[in-house]
Amino acid sequence: MMHLVLPFRFEWLWSDALVWLLVASVIGFAIYTNARPHLRAPWARVSRSASGLAAATVLALFVIVGLLDSVHYREALPSQDGKAAYATELRSVLDRLLQPLRASREKTYSAPLATHLYAKETVQLPDGGEVRVFPRLRHGGAHLVDPQQDWARDVAVKAFRGLAIALLVWFVAAIGVCAAESRRATAGIESVWRDVWAGRTAVPWRAVLAALGLLCVLIGPVTALAPHYHVLGTDKVGQDVLYQALKSIRTGLVIGTLATLVMLPFALVLGVMAGYFKGRIDDLIQYLYTTLSSIPGVLLIAAAVLMMQVYIENHPELFPSTEIRADVRLIALCVILGVTSWTGLCRLLRGEALKLREMEYIQAAHAFGVSHWRIMMRHIVPNVMHIVMIALVMDFSGLVLAEAVLSYVGVGVDPSMISFGTMINSARLEMAREPMVWWSLAAAFVFMLTLVLAANLFADAVRDAFDPRLIMAGRHS
Amino acid sequence: MTAYIIRRLVYGVFVLAGVNVLTFALFFFVNSPEDMARAQLGAKRVTPAAVEKWKRERGYDKPVFLNDKMPGSRKLTETVFFDKSVRLFAFEFGASDQGRNIGYDISTRMWPSLAVQVPAFVIGLAVYITFALLMAFFRATYVDFWGVVLCVLMMSISTLFYIIGGQFVFGKLWNLVPISGYDAGFDALKFLVLPVLIGVIGGIGSSSRWYRTIFLEEISKDYVRTARAKGLSESRVLFRHVLANAMIPILTGVVVVIPLLFMGALITESFFGIPGLGSYTIDAIGQQDFAIVRAMVFLGSVLYIIGLILTDISYTLVDPRVRFS
């Protein structure tokens, strides 16, 4: 009897499940918001911020990479008896897309776009002699017959071809945007095109298209070159640096989002309760967050992570593979970051709830005999959501930066997990090397700066749109 | 006023007790001392005898809360909780898991930490406030716009890159200062320049932007309009009125960190090889020395609570409304 053997089997890591749950809830939230004009209004203000939208475009790209890296599967192994057997190695869709980068492992360091190793090696000659040369790379530029002659031309041609395709894609996107806009505004596509480039549209499409254009100019040549060269070089063990940088994105995104999600319920429930009930409950909650926040953040996180490490070391039976162990550690790190960082938001929400509870409409609800629970849920929580939203986006970039520092201290993600922190940590001594190896650090720097900068700009746009004080003052800074 | 400060002090002691119980729970309930012994000894060398020896040498073999075998009050004092947790209140840090005297280590290593942290703090504060005032003075002009852009850009760069980049440029490329190390007395100066500089630069982005927001908030208040209506010059308004009133929100953020300067900067000290409390903590984390981490958590909380009380006192000094109410 024949068994149907699928070429792969999906495997959900815990963090994958949480990531997709988050995506689902964001979509749900978007649909809910879109149907309600008063909730839609601040987001409409966000969409009118040029820097905010440009940042959102860049962030969207990072999110796509992160999501592709959050679908894991095992490949089927060739089997004789028709039974399904799957590889022990866990891969993600991103790994599959980056297969050429992943598989092309060199011996050790090689510079960006290089065709030869970075260090001299002793090579045996056929006649028995030895000679010290820079050996050719196994994969980088391996298709070139004579690298010295062909290299520059080959790189230029490939980069140019990639650039041309990218620009074409960008142009199609720009036309698409104008077509959609002209349909909405019932104007000719040509006049819309002029409006977009003059910055006269309500939604600043010019900023989006400029950001998209910049990304295309960068991504096009890199995509064209990546299958044939190590665009960002290779690290000490010969792994492609571009691959590492792309894999780091997911780690950063997971930490930045899941940690805030863990923090949110603590801050919201305790903050609103403290402000609403006042008295004993308020004293207790204030005591709780003063106690927690009096421990310096890094030390508390370090202590908790150390304890988690000891637990993992003593219970190896719970973690069947390296990937699962690294994944559990990642989630535990998010939980620890969340549990140690809710105090700031809690304090803000308490203050806001203290103010709200004295409002007339709350007094009216009391007079009608509405229960405490209902007042908090229906009247207080919706009116503090703008603070929550601002805190969510503002915390993201801080968490991404914190991951790098924590991994350096040794209390971050699992050493086997690729992240910005582990990249920097393993590369930090390379600047002191002679000759210097700079590309690992440069790659981590550029990717991290882009992600954090985009997150910061987006957070500013969200804050400006949601903060009632800024809106009423009419000040946009 | 005295009654108020005493009340704050008593509250501080309660908070410390809470911190103590929390850390004790974290260190002794998540994992038992056996687990820690196994983690310390390494998987290969674990025998029941070795675990017992490790626990006995470090005093983890006593009962947790109540020692029935001892007479009188020693029922309570001869326990892990008393030794490892209550004794911290008397600043008896005991011995580290490696057998070093933590109290002595702290008293010698706090000086290098202070030598980096105090100059970085003072210079930093001056630079950040000056930059923020500059942006507030030229608000809604290109100076302000590009100032904010610079701030956002600088706060998007990880501390690690400031340090690595600074060491590379000033230490390796220009050979101005040694890349890392430390020396006693005035010889330490050349080792301190770079960490202090990096510490200041690393904070420009977030701090200057924060102070700018505070200044702009003050500028939008009524008394500023009154001052302008009186015919005061813009610089006089800014320096005499706005700066003075902005001191209150600035103090909130600044005074609380002053005591914490003792703790040193974790990353900076470790990169620059400064033998302060920051690198002490990092080494302890690397070696999984739980006794040192516990001591540092406690010390950090004490310093933070002192900072909170100092903040309250400083309010009464700068704000007459608080002083006379």
- The percent of residues above 90 in pLDDT, for chain A, comes to 41
Helical H runs in A238-296? Answer: 241-277, 279-294
The C-alpha of A405 sits at a distance from chain B's nearest C-alpha, in angstroms, of 7
Confidence of residue A215 (pLDDT cuts 50, 70, 90): very high
Residues of B in contact with A410 (CB under 8 A): 282, 285-286
Domain shared by B123 and B195, yes or no: yes
Q: Does B85 touch chain A (CB under 8 A)?
A: no
DSSP string, B132-172: HHHHHHTTTSHHHHHHHHHHHHHHTS-HHHHHHHHIIIIII
Report pLDDT digits (tens) over B173-185. Answer: 888 888 888 877 7
Give the residue, A471 or A20, on which the prediction is more confident. Answer: A20
Nearest Cα neighbor of A359 from A465, A464, A275 is A275
Assign A78 to helix, strand or coil.
Answer: coil
Per DSSP, the three-state class of A123 is strand
What the block records as the tokens of A42 is 């601040």
Cα A190 from Cα B20, distance rounded (Å): 70
How much is the average pLDDT of A270-288? 93
B233 domain residue, yes or no: yes
Q: Is the pLDDT of residue A393 over 70?
A: yes
A409 DSSP β-pair partners: none
- What is the C-alpha separation between A437 and A235, in angstroms, rounded? 9
Q: What is the pLDDT of residue A187?
A: 79
**Does one domain contain both B180 and B278?**
yes
- For A108, phi then psi, to 5°, come to -160, -150
In a domain, B96, yes or no: no
Residue B324 in domain: no
Q: Which whole number is the average pLDDT over B199-214?
A: 92
pLDDT score, position A107? 81
In a domain? residue B76: yes
**pLDDT value, residue A412:** 87
**B185: CATH:** 1.10.3720.10
- Residue B129 touches chain A, beta carbons under 8 Å: no
pLDDT range class, residue A286, cuts 50, 70, 90: very high
pLDDT at A126: 79
CA–CA distance, A266 with A270 (Å, rounded to integer): 6
pLDDT at A312 over 90: no
Q: pLDDT for A314-372, tens place per residue? A: 888 888 788 888 898 999 999 999 988 899 899 999 999 999 988 899 999 989 999 99
For B:169-208, CB contacts with A below 8 A are 172, 179
Domain match, B195 and B235 both:
yes
- For residue A132, the surrounding DSSP H or E stretch is strand A130-133
Residue A401 has its nearest CB partner, among B158, B167, B281, at B158
Same domain flag for B136 and B53: no
Question: Candidates 1.10.3720.10, 3.40.50.1370, 1.20.1440.230, 1.25.40.10; correct CATH number of A248-476?
Answer: 1.10.3720.10
- Answer whether residue A455 shows pLDDT above 50: yes
Nearest to B164 among A296, A309, A441 (CB): A441
Label residue A74 by pLDDT band (50, 70, 90): confident
- Chain B CB contacts of A286 under 8 Å are none
Flag whether pLDDT at A209 surpasses 50. yes
Q: Which domain-ending residue is among B90, B124, B158?
A: B90
Q: Angle, to 10 degrees, between the axis of helix A205-225 and the axis of helix A189-198?
A: 90
What pLDDT, on a 0 to 100 scale, did the predictor assign at position A4? 59
Quick check: is B283 in a domain?
Answer: yes
B8 touches chain A (CB under 8 A): no
Q: What is the pLDDT of residues B267-295, one digit of tens each?
A: 889 888 899 999 999 988 888 888 888 88
Q: How many CB atoms lie within 10 A of CB B4?
A: 12
Q: Does B149 touch chain A (CB under 8 A)?
A: no
What would the mean pLDDT of A457-474 be, rounded to a whole number?
A: 77
Is the pLDDT assigned to residue A476 strictly greater than 50?
A: no
Place of tokens 């949110």: A264
For an interface test with A, the pick among B11, B141, B158, B280 (most A C-beta atoms closer than 10 Å) comes out as B158
What confidence score (pLDDT) does residue B45 get? 65
Interface contact flag, B216 A404, Cβ < 8 Å? no
In chain A, the N- to C-terminal Cα span, in Å, equals 71
Between chains, do B26 and A304 touch, taking CB under 8 Å as contact?
yes
- Provide the pLDDT for residue A443: 93
Does B323 fall in a domain? no
Candidate from A155-159, A311-315, B34-38, B209-213 with smallest mean pLDDT = B34-38
pLDDT in the model for residue B44: 64
Domains of chain B: total:
2
- Position B92 scores a pLDDT of 78
- What DSSP line would sit under A372-394, residue for residue? HHHIIIIIIHHHHHHHHHHHHHH
pLDDT for residue A461 is more than 50 = yes
Environment class of residue B165 by beta-carbon count within 10 Å: exposed (0-12), middle (13-18) or buried (19+)?
middle
Does the model's ipTM exceed the 0.85 cut? yes
One domain for residues B200 and B81: no
Domain match, B125 and B261 both? yes
More confident residue, A137 or A402: A402
pLDDT at A431: 77
Classify residue A382 by burial, with Cβ atoms within 10 Å: 0-12, 13-18, 19+: exposed
In tens, the pLDDT along A22-32 reads 999 999 999 99
Q: How confident is the model at residue A474 (pLDDT cuts 50, 70, 90)?
A: very low
Domain boundaries in chain A? 248-476
Dist CA A353 CA A271 (whole Å): 8
Q: What is the pLDDT of residue B43?
A: 62
Q: How far apart are CA B325 and CA A456, in angstroms?
A: 41
Q: What is the pLDDT of residue B33?
A: 78
B183 and B85, same structural domain?
A: no
CA distance B38 to chain A (A): 8
Q: Is the pLDDT of residue A40 over 60?
A: yes
Mean pLDDT of A145-164: 88
| Confidence at B253, pLDDT banded by 50, 70, 90 | confident
Residues B54 and B185 in one domain: no
CA–CA min distance B23, chain A (Å):
8
pLDDT above 70 as % of chain B: 96
* Share above pLDDT 70 across residues of chain A, in percent, rounded to a whole number: 95
For residues B66 and B135, membership in a common domain is answered with no
Which residues lie below 8 Å from residue A340, measured CB to CB, with a gap of 6+?
Answer: A292, A295, A297, A300, A301, A304
As a whole number of angstroms, the distance between CA B320 and CA A214 comes to 55
CA distance A409 to B254: 26
Tell me which residue range forms the domain holding B163: 107-318
Q: Are residues B302 and B218 in the same domain?
A: yes
Q: How far apart are the first and last CA of chain B?
A: 9
Confidence of residue A475 (pLDDT cuts 50, 70, 90): very low
State the DSSP string of B75-130. Answer: HHHSSHHHHHTGGGGGT---B-TTS-BHHHHHHHHHHHHHHHHHHHHHHHHHHHHH
Q: What pLDDT, on the 0 to 100 scale, is given for residue A313?
A: 80
Helix, coil or strand: residue A72: strand
A410 and chain B in contact, CB less than 8 A: yes
Which DSSP letter does residue A116 get? B
State the average pLDDT for chain A.
87
Distance (Å, whole) CA A437 – CA B168: 12
Contact B18 A405 (CB under 8 A): no
For residue B249, pLDDT beyond 90? no
Chain A: nearest CA to B71, how far in angstroms?
34
Q: How far is residue B132's CA from residue A248's CA, in Å, rounded to a whole number? A: 35
Q: Do B26 and A303 touch (CB under 8 A)?
A: yes
Q: What is the C-alpha to C-alpha distance for residues A58 and A453, in angstroms, rounded to an integer?
A: 10
Residues of B in contact with A291 (CB under 8 A): 15, 18-19, 22
Write out pLDDT tens, residues A99-119.
Answer: 888 888 888 888 888 888 887
Q: Does B39 touch chain A (CB under 8 A)?
A: yes
Tell me the mean pLDDT in the region B14-35. Answer: 84
> CA nearest A299 in B: which residue?
B297
Average pLDDT over residues B245-261: 87
Q: Does the beta-carbon distance from B39 to A424 stay under 8 Å?
A: no
Which of A52-61, A105-114, A380-389 holds the top average pLDDT?
A: A52-61
Closest CA to B30 of A303, A347, A190: A303
pLDDT digits (tens, 9 = 90+) for B86-130: 778 777 788 887 778 888 999 989 999 999 999 999 999 999 999
Rounded to an integer, the average pLDDT of B214-229 is 90
User: Tens digit of pLDDT for each residue in B45-56?
Assistant: 677 887 787 777
Q: What's the average model confidence in pLDDT over A283-312?
A: 89
pLDDT band of residue A432 (cuts 50, 70, 90) is: confident
Among candidate residues B303, B276, B282, the one with its CA nearest the CA of residue B117: B276
* Residues B176, B37 within the same domain: no
Residue A473: pLDDT over 60: no
Do residues B135 and B212 both lie within one domain?
A: yes
| Structure tokens belonging to residue B116 | 């980096």
Name the pTM for this structure: 0.91
